[in-house]
């Protein structure tokens, strides 16, 4: 493998900047299980304000945050409506089933990752003892498997309106919600407004080494804290995590536009290569493509051997641009890809 490899597997591979490391080293600490870590408290207050919610809770990961949200919203035995291909159904190890005794009821999505509202309506259970109760509707924004696609305010408002008609809460898996807000040029609170709860990741495009934040009403977060404890998520001097999050929210949000521009540039160049088809063209920092004559798992292996680290996801190659990947890295990745394709399968 050429040295150094260009790591486009995920925006989770980001490393903290020197300034973020300094913030971590200098964090004021306390015991967060006792709600006594001032840096955690500051991050939670900042996150709640930015997303337009009453309160927030630092959690270890987006997966943990999504599971806590489902447990908090739903009694055991309820069903959660999620879109086909959503992170909750595909990549969270069945936690809702395993831990919460919750059913996950999937409905179709369109090419943007938007829930089929007619299917959602049909999935909502009638009040009948033969059926489980519907407890929650989940939205993912941006949508990973759909290609990092963005849902705008009208899209999420439509889900909210339907849920309100049936007196159901809405949870937004907003792992990359800041990417969506930057792409749309709107305050992130505008998108979060349509969810009763929302998670966002610190450890993806925002460049932190660990952590996510769950936001909602004060009563919701009070209950969520209990479920965080159940899941082993009560951390002590967690200000070393929160300090990175504070730095990220203050300094790393607007630069997400650079990742979007790099993904768009990579897509334009890839589209000029014989046999390459974008699947779909990128809207944010996720880029999917296929190549005629190549099986995706073999192309993944060849690219990795050439020092372009990537994933075969759903029969497509996925590249993710992120902090630490500059235009020069994209150019080098493109050159290595051209060489792989020229050599052939």
User: pLDDT tens digit string along 219-245?
Assistant: 999 999 999 999 999 999 999 999 999
Select from 251, 274, 307 the last residue of a domain. Answer: 251
Burial class (CB in 10 A: 0-12, 13-18, 19+), 203: buried
The answer to whether residue 293 is domain-embedded is yes
| Angle at CA of residue 80, ends 40 and 9, nearest 5° | 60
Residue 132 lies in a domain: yes
**pLDDT for res 1:** 76
| Domain extent for 265 | 255-343
Please indicate, yes or no, whether residues 266 and 227 belong to a single structural domain of this protein: no
CATH of the domain at 160: 3.40.640.10
> Do 316 and 196 fall into the same domain?
no
- Residues 188, 50 within the same domain: yes
User: Same domain for 259 and 230?
Assistant: no
Q: Which of 164, 158, 171 is nearest to 220 (CA)?
A: 171
The band of 2, judged by pLDDT with boundaries at 50, 70 and 90, is: confident
Mean local confidence (pLDDT), 46-70 = 98
pLDDT of residue 126: 96
- Say if residue 229 is in the same domain as residue 99: yes
Answer whether residue 209 is part of any domain. yes
So what's the pLDDT on residue 311? Answer: 94
Give the residue-averaged pLDDT of 56-76. Answer: 98
Q: Per the domain annotation, does 6 fall within a domain?
A: no
Total number of domains constituting the chain: 2
Mean residue pLDDT across the chain: 97
Residue 97 has pLDDT above 90, yes or no: yes
Dihedral sign (CA 158, 160, 161, 165): positive
Residue 64 is assigned to a structural domain of this protein: yes
Provide φ and ψ at 106, rounded to 5°: -85, 145
Task: Choose one of 232, 251, 270: the last residue of a domain.
Answer: 251
The model scores a pTM over 0.95: yes
Residues 218 and 134 in one domain: yes
Residue 144 pairs in a beta bridge with none
Determine the average pLDDT of the residues in 294-314.
Answer: 96
Q: Are residues 264 and 247 in the same domain?
A: no
118 confidence band (pLDDT: 50, 70, 90):
very high
Please give the helix or strand (H or E) that residue 103 lies within, else none.
strand 103-107
Task: Give the confidence band of 20 by pLDDT, cuts at 50, 70, 90.
Answer: very high
| 80 inside domain | yes
Tell me how far apart the alpha carbons of residues 192 and 336 are, in angstroms, rounded to a whole number: 40
Last residue of a domain, one of 224, 251, 278: 251
Q: Quick check: 309 and 299 in contact, CB under 8 A?
A: no
Task: Quote the pLDDT of residue 191.
Answer: 98
Q: Are residues 149 and 296 in the same domain?
A: no
Q: How far is CA 105 from CA 45, 127, 129, 139, in A?
A: 33, 17, 18, 13
pLDDT over 90 (residue 314): no
Residue 11 lies in a domain: no
Does 12 map to a domain? no
Residue 3 has what pLDDT?
A: 81
pLDDT tens profile 180-200: 999 999 999 999 999 999 999
Q: How far apart are CA 117 and CA 164, in angstroms?
A: 13
Is the same domain home to 159 and 245?
A: yes
Q: Quick one: CA dihedral 93, 96, 99, 103, positive or negative?
A: negative
Answer yes or no: do 183 and 122 share one domain: yes
The pLDDT > 90 percentage for the chain reads: 98
Q: What is the pLDDT of residues 146-174, one digit of tens each?
A: 999 999 999 999 999 999 999 999 999 99
Question: Are residues 241 and 284 located together in one domain of the fold?
Answer: no
CATH code, 293: 3.90.1150.10
Statement to judge: residues 290 and 237 lie in one domain: no
């Amino acid at each position: 493998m050429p040295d150094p490899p260009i790591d486009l597997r995920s925006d989770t591979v980001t490393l903290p900047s020197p300034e973020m490391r300094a913030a971590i080293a200098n964090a004021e600490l306390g015991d967060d299980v006792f709600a006594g870590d001032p840096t955690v408290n500051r991050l939670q207050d900042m996150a709640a304000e930015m997303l337009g919610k009453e309160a927030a809770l630092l959690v270890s990961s987006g997966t943990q945050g999504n599971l806590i949200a489902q447990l908090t919203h739903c009694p055991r035995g309820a069903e959660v409506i999620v879109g086909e291909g959503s992170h909750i159904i595909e990549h969270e190890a069945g936690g809702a089933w395993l831990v919460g005794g919750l059913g996950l009821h999937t409905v179709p999505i369109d090419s943007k990752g938007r829930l089929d509202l007619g299917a959602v309506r049909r999935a909502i259970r009638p009040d009948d003892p033969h059926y489980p109760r519907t407890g929650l509707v989940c939205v993912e924004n941006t949508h990973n498997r759909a290609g990092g696609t963005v849902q705008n305010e009208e899209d999420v408002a439509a889900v909210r309106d339907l849920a309100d008609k049936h007196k159901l809460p809405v949870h937004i898996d907003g792992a990359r919600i800041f990417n969506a807000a930057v792409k749309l040029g709107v305050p992130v609170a505008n998108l979060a407004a349509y969810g009763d709860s929302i998670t966002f990741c610190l450890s993806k495009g925002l460049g932190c080494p660990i952590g996510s934040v769950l936001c909602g009403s004060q009563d919701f977060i009070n209950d969520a804290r209990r479920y965080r404890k159940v899941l082993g998520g009560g951390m002590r001097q967690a200000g070393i995590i929160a300090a990175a999050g504070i730095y990220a929210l203050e300094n790393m949000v607007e630069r997400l536009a650079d990742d979007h521009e790099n993904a768009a540039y990579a897509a334009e160049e890839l589209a000029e290569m014989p046999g390459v088809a974008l699947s779909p063209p990128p809207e944010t920092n996720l880029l999917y493509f296929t190549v005629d004559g190549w099986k995706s798992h073999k192309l993944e292996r060849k690219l990795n051997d050439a020092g372009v680290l990537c994933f075969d996801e759903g029969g497509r190659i996925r590249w993710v641009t992120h902090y630490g990947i500059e235009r020069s890295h994209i150019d080098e990745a493109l050159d290595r890809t051209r060489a792989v394709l020229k050599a052939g399968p």
